[in-house]
Structure 1
Amino acid sequence: MNSEATTFREAIALVLRACRAALPFFLSIETWLMVAVAAVTVGGFWLAFMGDLRSLVAFGAAVGYLALRSMLHARRILGWPFL
């Protein structure tokens, strides 16, 4: 695949091909689980900084993500990464 675009039209076509190829990744449950756990972790740190005990719930949810992810992999709902 030639990834060198010489015209604007070729550059647009190359970007569209890359977006179409990446679309299954961005629509996967795995991506949204990672985004959710990142948001929960940031929220947990913010709550901990503010001295709120609800940060423990947020951190518990982040740790629960690890268990959920392992279970989803074991049931073959998610594919093992890097294999």
Structure 2
Amino acid sequence: MTTRRHPPNFKDIAALTLRVWREAATFFLSIELGLMLLVVAATVGGVWLAVMHDVHSLLAFGFAIAYVATRITLHVKRILSWPFI
């Protein structure tokens, strides 16, 4: 036995998209996302500077490693809650 559903129309898709964006807005507007993007940029920049044999790559890698270490420490001390659990 199969059930047939009507394919969603544009209005249904728009309503679902709007609802998902509203629920995810707190994450997208959080400082956490900005910090994660900053770490990603520092890592990519650090790799590029390392390829160019520039000493400043150590600063970029140091920032990325320090961010991750600080975040882990804050989670272990239960100051921050573990994400996605």
Q: Taking structure 1 as the reference length, what is the TM-score of the superposition? A: 0.80
TM-aligned CA deviation for residue 70 of structure 1: 2.9
Find the counterpart in structure 2 of residue 31 from structure 1.
33
Find the counterpart in structure 2 of residue 64 from structure 1.
66
Cα deviations by residue, 1:9-29 (Å, 9 ceiling, x for unpaired) = 111111000100111111222
Q: Is the 8 A contact 1:41 1:62 kept in 2?
A: yes
Find the counterpart in structure 1 of residue 15 from structure 2.
13
Shift >2 Å, 4+ stretches: 70-76
In structure 2, give the amino acid aligned to 1:44. G
Find the counterpart in structure 2 of residue 51 from structure 1.
53
In structure 2, the gaps of 5 or more residues are 1-5
Instruction: Give, in whole Å, the separation in 2 of the partners of 1:70 and 1:62.
Output: 13
* Count of residues in correspondence between the two structures: 79
Q: Percent identity?
A: 53
TM-aligned CA deviation for residue 67 of structure 1: 2.6
Cα deviations by residue, 1:5-63 (Å, 9 ceiling, x for unpaired) = 62111111110001001111112222221111000000000000111000011111111
Task: Please point out which of 23, 36, 42 is paired with 1:40.
Answer: 42
In structure 1, give the amino acid aligned to 2:54. D
